[in-house]
Every structure is written in C-alpha cells, then in structure tokens.
Amino acid sequence: MLGDEVDRLIDVFLEDTPRLLARLEIAASGPDYDALRDAAHSLKSSSANLGAMMLSAAAKRIEHGAREGNLARPAVAVALVTNEFARARRALRSGSRAAS
C-alpha cells in the first residue's frame, strides 16, 4: 500500500536534491552562511524522512556550522554531502526496485 507513495517520495527526493546540492556549492564559494544554512536544513530534513541518516547528519553539520558562522572549509563540507548523496541515491534506487 505504501510502496507507490514511497517510490514517489524517493523520485521527488532524487529530482530535488541535485538542486539543493547546487545551491550548497554556490553558497560555499562565498561563503554565504544563510544560503548554506537554508539549503542544508532542507536536505537534512528530506534525507532523514527517507532514512538516509548519514546524508542527513552531513547536512546537519553544515547547517549548524553555517548557523554559528564558523563552518571550516565549506567547499569540503559540501563535497562530503555530495558524496553521501551519491551513496544514498544508490541505496534508495536499489531498495525501491527491490520493493517493486
């Protein structure tokens, strides 16, 4: 019963997250702490909702560092989030197909 809904949520997440990652990359180049905080907050929440907890934790580190204005090496932090998204994407795609 939830299978179709979960698949739709995964699809939306996989479509929206690259835009959030692009926002993070642009914000890291400034650094623009407000933009980093906002994009990381969105990513933290959406990834946690789908069980991508390592991705959520990486986004949370950016969110908190940006909120405090002391995020060391923002570009590196964003690269780590990007890598975690790649891992989460593979897991979500394989899990989604396994449930089908």
**CATH number assigned to the domain comprising residue 20:** 1.20.120
How many domains does one find in the chain?
Answer: 1
For the CA atoms of 11, 15, 82, 41, the dihedral, rounded to the nearest 10 degrees, stands at: -90
pTM for the full predicted model:
0.89
> Can you give the pLDDT of all 100 residues of the chain as single tens digits?
456 788 899 999 999 999 999 999 999 999 999 999 999 999 999 999 999 999 999 999 999 999 999 999 999 999 999 999 999 999 998 875 444 3
Angle between helices 74-99 and 53-68 (to 10 degrees): 150
Can you give the residue range of the structural domain that contains 42? Answer: 3-99
The torsion angles phi and psi of 80, rounded to 5 degrees, stand at -65, -40
